[in-house]
Amino acid sequence: MLKEDFVIQSNIRRMLIRTSIDCSRIDFGTVKGVVYIRGIFQISNPPADGDEVKTVHLTIHALYSLEKKVKSIPGVVDVNFQFFNWRKERGHWVPVDVREKEGEDENKPESNL
Amino acid sequence: MRTSRNLIYKRILGEVEKEVQLHPNYADLQNQFALLLMVKGEMEKARDHFLEALRLNPKYREAILNLGFLYLEMRRWKEAEEIFLPEAKQYPKDGFIHHVLGILYLRAGKQKEAAAQIYKSIRYHPFYRDYYKKKGVWRKGMIHLDQKAERALKEIHLNFHYAQFQNFIGLYLAQKGKFTQAIHELRKAARLKPDEFIFHANLGTVHTYRGAYLKAIQEFQKALKIDPCYGMGYANLSYVYGLMCRTREALRCMKKAVRMSPQHADLHYNLALLYSDRKRYEEAAFELKRALRINPNYLFARINLGVLYEDQKRWKEARREYRKILQITPDDEHIRKRLERIS
């Protein structure tokens, strides 16, 4: 039997808070087991030395980890990421120029964490 | 100060100081930094940062109260009174503020005013009636401020800012994923000021992160006993029941959360999910529409509403919602496919 959307939603909320993701600019929803995650994706603990390469590496790692964790929640049938600053292309996460997409963020509701 | 010897507090102080330097215009950071300085005993520096927090956000109540306690600690009675008296006027039924004013007057040697404020705190909050009874101040319906009682009461105001401090440390540790240590600190806060609902609510949240759901429920229930109008407390309780797959209780709590905080679009959305899971589609659609009235750009509420219409074979309404979604997110393949299927 499929897990209920509210149960999935509660699990995602808890999972997001427990990860190293800055949740303040992320929003999510669940429809019939399909999870939508949207917003600006950032890690909450970037390297103290400000090394950009390291930050990108850690962010990519966090993205794959998030994907894996969401998919492992019982009842989740699919995940739809709609990040303004990261996009998945041919199975790989790539950064997107935020300036060209940030205007779209005006549609983001308050964070539901 | 004994806490400054503690390595963890020193580290947190250092980290918060760095954050304040990076983001000097964040009132909450200024307030947190000032609180840490206050506990460390750097009163003048703490005062500057509380004042900075209030310059950035003049209505920041926590910073206002913290500054009041700082003045109390610095024995600057007049400045403390200037903070707490308007608070008492604004929140005349806040027993704690009257309690603090009572202590302030007592320390300033104004017995008559102190008795009047203590009487008000007893009148407005049952916690203080028991408290003053225990301290021997409230006996046979009368206030007795003898020397022994005065001594017992004089230091009690310190509990407030120590509790705030422990609460802050607890939340900080929780953010770092150190849940066991966080709970330890939050428990201290709740012990210092047991009538503060937010400490129990924070404990409930951290227990939830840890997966200790029964303990989380207990703490949220304590918070709600103190403040039955705390809408987010019911919402958090509902999420815990959700994690336990106890959706009947989750629905009951989320309904209360929505009743208490009807302005939160997200709560309507979650209530809609609970109705939808129980196939109560009309009620689900009603809640989604309420969420969209509050926030017309609430994308997920619109997706759920579109799917709900589709399930009910209300094709026209479903198409309308899907088109609106695609205006916001033209790349959404799921929604595009759904729209194509029913077009």
Residue A43 main-chain phi, psi, to 5 deg:
-85, 150
Cβ of B304 within 8 Å of Cβ of A110? The answer is no
pLDDT at B99 over 80: yes
Residues B180, B154 within the same domain? no
Residues B152, B44 within the same domain? yes
Q: A10 vs B37, B138, B237, CA distance in Å?
A: 37, 46, 11
Whether A112 is covered by a domain: the verdict is no
> Which residue, chain included where needed, has tokens 């918070």?
B223
Residues B10, B107 within the same domain? yes
Whether B16 is covered by a domain: the verdict is yes
Domain stops at, among B125, B158, B191: B158
Residues B69, B149 within the same domain? yes
Average pLDDT, chain B: 89
Residues B124, B44 within the same domain? yes
- In 3D space, the residue among B195, B272, B259, B194 whose CA is nearest the CA of residue B232 turns out to be B259
Domain stops at, among B129, B158, B187: B158
- A98 or B188: which leads in pLDDT: B188
CATH at residue A11: 3.30.70
Residues B149, B244 within the same domain? no
Predicted pLDDT of residue B137 = 80
Q: Which of residues 73-112 of B touch A (CB under 8 A)?
A: none
Whether A47 is covered by a domain: the verdict is yes
Q: What percent of chain B has pLDDT over 70?
A: 97
Whether B277 is covered by a domain: the verdict is no
When divided into structural domains, chain A yields a total of 1
| Cα dihedral: B129, B135, B137, B142 (round 10) | 50
Predicted pLDDT of residue B80 = 95
Chain B residues within 8 A of A32 when measuring between CB atoms: 307
Whether A23 is covered by a domain: the verdict is yes
Inter-chain CB pairs, A–B, below 8 Å: 89
pLDDT category, B21, cuts 50, 70, 90?
very high
Cβ of A14 within 8 Å of Cβ of B273? The answer is no
Q: Does B295 touch chain A (CB under 8 A)?
A: yes
Q: B140 vs B98, B129, B137, B143, B243, CA distance in Å?
A: 20, 11, 10, 8, 49
* 8-state DSSP, A43: B
Whether A54 is covered by a domain: the verdict is yes
pLDDT at B3 over 50: no
Q: Which domain holds residue A67?
A: 5-107
pLDDT in tens, B108-140: 888 889 889 988 888 887 777 787 888 778 887
Locate B290 and state its tokens: 């309420």
Predicted pLDDT of residue B158 = 65
Whether B284 is covered by a domain: the verdict is no
Instruction: Lowest mean pLDDT of A96-100, B98-102, B266-270, B310-314, name the range.
Output: A96-100
Which of B243, B274, B303 lies at the smallest CB-CB distance from A29? B303
pLDDT at B333 over 80: yes
Residues B8, B89 within the same domain? yes
Predicted pLDDT of residue B149 = 73
Determine the average pLDDT of the residues in A67-80. 94
- B234 or B39: which leads in pLDDT: B234
| Residue B283 identity | E
Whether B283 is covered by a domain: the verdict is no
pLDDT in tens, B202-238: 999 999 999 999 999 999 999 999 888 889 999 999 9
Chain A residues contacting B, CB < 8 Å? 3-7, 9-11, 13-14, 17-18, 27-32, 34, 36, 38, 44, 78, 80, 82, 104, 106-110, 112
Q: Does B167 touch chain A (CB under 8 A)?
A: no
Cβ of B265 within 8 Å of Cβ of A11? The answer is no
Cβ of B250 within 8 Å of Cβ of A11? The answer is no
Whether A27 is covered by a domain: the verdict is yes
Predicted pLDDT of residue A99 = 55
Predicted pLDDT of residue B7 = 75
Residues B74, B105 within the same domain? yes
Predicted pLDDT of residue B150 = 74
pLDDT at B1 over 80: no
Determine the average pLDDT of the residues in A13-39. 91
User: Taking the model in full, what pTM does it have?
Assistant: 0.79
Q: How far is A49 from chain B (nearest CA, A)?
A: 13
pLDDT category, B196, cuts 50, 70, 90?
confident
Q: B110 vs A33, A63, B104, B113, B148, CA distance in Å?
A: 65, 62, 9, 6, 16
The angle formed by the CA atoms of residues B257, B261 and B264, to the nearest 5 degrees, is 100
CATH at residue B205: 1.25.40.10
Residues B212, B111 within the same domain? no
- Complex ipTM: 0.85
Domain stops at, among B216, B244, B261: B261
Q: Which domain holds residue B215?
A: 176-261
Which of B245, B270, B307 lies at the smallest CB-CB distance from A9? B270
When divided into structural domains, chain B yields a total of 2
Give the length of chain B.
343
pLDDT in tens, B300-325: 999 999 999 999 999 999 999 999 99
Residues B148, B181 within the same domain? no
Residues B146, B192 within the same domain? no
Cβ of A112 within 8 Å of Cβ of B331? The answer is no
Whether A89 is covered by a domain: the verdict is yes
Locate A86 and state its tokens: 């990261």
pLDDT at B159 over 80: no
Whether B168 is covered by a domain: the verdict is no
Alpha-carbon distance of A79 to A71, in angstroms, equals 7
